Amino acid sequence: MRSSILAAAALAACCSEVQAGTCENLRALTIPDTAIASAVPVHAGPFSPGEPQRAGAPAFPAFCRVIAVARPVADSEIRLEVWLPAAETWNGKLLGIGNGGYAGALSYSETETALRQGYAVAGSDTGHSGGDLKFGMGHPEKIADWAFRAVHVMTDTAKVIVRSYYGRFAAHSYFSGCSTGGQQALTEAQRFPEDYDGIVAGAPGANRVRLNVGFLWSWLAVHKDGAEVLPASKLPVINQAAVSDCDALDGVKDGFIGDSRACKFDPGALLCKGADAANCLTAAQVSAVRAVYDGARNPRTGEQLYPGWARGSEASGGARPGGWSGYFARQPEPARLDFWRFWVFHDPDWDFRTFDFDRDIAYADSKLSFLTANDPDLTRFKQRGGRLLMYQGWADRLCLPRTPSNTTRTSNGPWAAWRRRPASSGFSWRRAWAIARADPARAASMRLARWIGGSVKGPRPTGSSHRIPLPQPWTAHDPYALIPR
């Protein structure tokens, strides 16, 4: 139904002169399954999206703020916003903004920065309000909204609004997201390849079931019978030893591990010679760290269920924000237990200690297969001329650097002309968000726009090098390898 809406709008645009509208007139816009809640011109000056206006709000350029509510299926209610810069400052492009975590809220900071760059910007609340996962218990359609439907509905609606306001469709449509937004980005390329011309997928949590398996496995690895085996105070010790052991493997001694896959650091090197001490590990702690590095495995078959955390990702602070302490070390229980309680088992009292890494994973994979964005076949997106840019940090403690590999290995043929996936040493999930939020001119989405526009060429064929113009701390990369050069 929604694709037919765009087709009809495109036909009308081709066969008749389309007049640009006013912001107020957008309130009368008719879109099936969608109601325009408000369309308000915002004058240049101090503005904050919340009500009432807060003191010290930053000055905004003039724009039209459209709020809509879409109800594409029963039990679905998706709140979305489209911010439209003045016609004379519009760059002719639409940018869809991704979300973070399970949060049911728009990212106003990213919307603001993109608006300042001249983009028409669209974002949604993914079909619910709030950051916990209780919204999905007994509401499978709301989980589907969060997983894939909300961004697609937002995109279709935004394109119609853009055309109605400016009198023409956007010349190019882009999507940019990190973490959950990275998963949304890959979902768009796989499920809805016609939605966007260019997509930025940062640190994508592409396999949501297995991501949460990883949290559970790692917490159990560093706890025995509920007691903490590996204190967070020892994480810097482990990190320093790993970096010292592997720093120079890339030929540059710079305090980072250039490619964690080449690092074979064994925590057994830190085994205490006598009693437990602050600068060494007990035998139990060595085993715990090895289990985290090795990652989750099926106890019956030995199958790798989820990659282990990279060597060099252990510590927090300084140049390496994050670390294990944020999700399984120094935590009273595993992260994201509500995923299992409300989305998988529908039991608020479910006990994670009963989890079976064989039977329960097979059940969750089958029940929630639509949460995964790991389809390696991006043929339709490639054939329409789409461009995909993925970035990932080796030090990511949340969305692990080895998990998106299915999407980056589609075929043996040349694909670098339409897809890139740089990785960066010492680069964390938090740092990725910081760059994306701080300055969109430095963000990957801006580089993607230049790439599609032709001012930045695609990578060269295998065997040659090509420098990708990305912001620091990203460096130059070989277009096929994941190793920073």
- For position 89, which CATH number holds? 3.40.50.1820
Per-residue pLDDT at 7: 53
Chain centre distance of CA 138: 26
Identity of the amino acid at 53: Q
Choosing from 369, 390, 418, the residue where a domain stops is: 369
Per-residue pLDDT at 86: 97
Answer positive or negative: Cα dihedral of 71, 72, 77, 81.
Answer: negative
Q: Is residue 467 in a domain?
A: no
122 and 246 inside one domain: no
Asked if 83 and 154 count as a contact pair (C-beta separation under 8 A), the reply is: no
256 and 307 inside one domain: yes
416 and 341 inside one domain: no
List of the chain residues with pLDDT < 70: 1-19, 51-55, 316-322, 395, 397-398, 400-485
Separation between Cα atoms, residue 18 and residue 20, nearest integer Å = 7
14 and 107 inside one domain: yes
Separation between Cα atoms, residue 116 and residue 91, nearest integer Å = 10
Separation between Cα atoms, residue 400 and residue 421, nearest integer Å = 14
38 and 171 inside one domain: yes
335 and 389 inside one domain: no
351 and 377 inside one domain: no
Per-residue pLDDT reduced to its tens digit, 23-32: 999 999 999 9
Q: Is residue 472 in a domain?
A: no
Tell me how crowded residue 437 is: count the other CB atoms within 10 A of its CB.
15
Beta bridge partner(s), residue 259: none
Q: How far apart are the first and last CA of the chain?
A: 47
Structure-block tokens of residue 13 = 């645009």
Per-residue pLDDT at 445: 58
Choosing from 336, 369, 402, the residue where a domain stops is: 369
320 and 339 inside one domain: yes
Separation between Cα atoms, residue 92 and residue 485, nearest integer Å = 35
400 and 284 inside one domain: no
135 and 60 inside one domain: yes
Separation between Cα atoms, residue 24 and residue 398, nearest integer Å = 43
Separation between Cα atoms, residue 265 and residue 251, nearest integer Å = 17
Query: What are the backbone dihedrals phi and psi of residue 122, each rounded to the nearest 5 degrees, phi first?
Result: -130, 140
Asked if 239 and 320 count as a contact pair (C-beta separation under 8 A), the reply is: yes
Structure-block tokens of residue 477 = 């990369």
Structure-block tokens of residue 418 = 């339409």
| Most distant CA pair in the chain, distance | 84
Q: Is residue 333 in a domain?
A: yes
Per-residue pLDDT at 303: 95
Choosing from 369, 400, 427, the residue where a domain stops is: 369
Chain centre distance of CA 282: 37
Looking at residue 81, the DSSP 8-state letter turns out to be E
Separation between Cα atoms, residue 279 and residue 34, nearest integer Å = 60
Q: Is residue 269 in a domain?
A: yes
Helix H or strand E segment including 445:
helix 444-453
Q: Report how many domains make up the chain.
A: 2
Structure-block tokens of residue 2 = 């929604």
Beta bridge partner(s), residue 63: 42, 85
Separation between Cα atoms, residue 437 and residue 178, nearest integer Å = 10
Closest CA relative to residue 220, chosen from 299, 321, 275: 299
DSSP assignment of 303-368 equals -EEEPPPPTT-S--STTS---GGGTTTT-SS-TTHHIIIIIIS--TT--GGG--TTHHHHHHHHHT
306 and 343 inside one domain: yes
Angle (deg, nearest 10), helices 150-166 and 180-191:
80
* Residue range of the domain that includes 384: 2-208+371-453
Structure-block tokens of residue 322 = 């994050």
195 and 46 inside one domain: yes
Side-chain-facing half-sphere of 311: CA atoms under 13 Å: 22
Exposure class string for 72-107: b at 16+ Cβ within 10 A, else e = beeebbbbbbbbbbeeeebbebbbbbbbbebbbbbb
Per-residue pLDDT at 435: 41
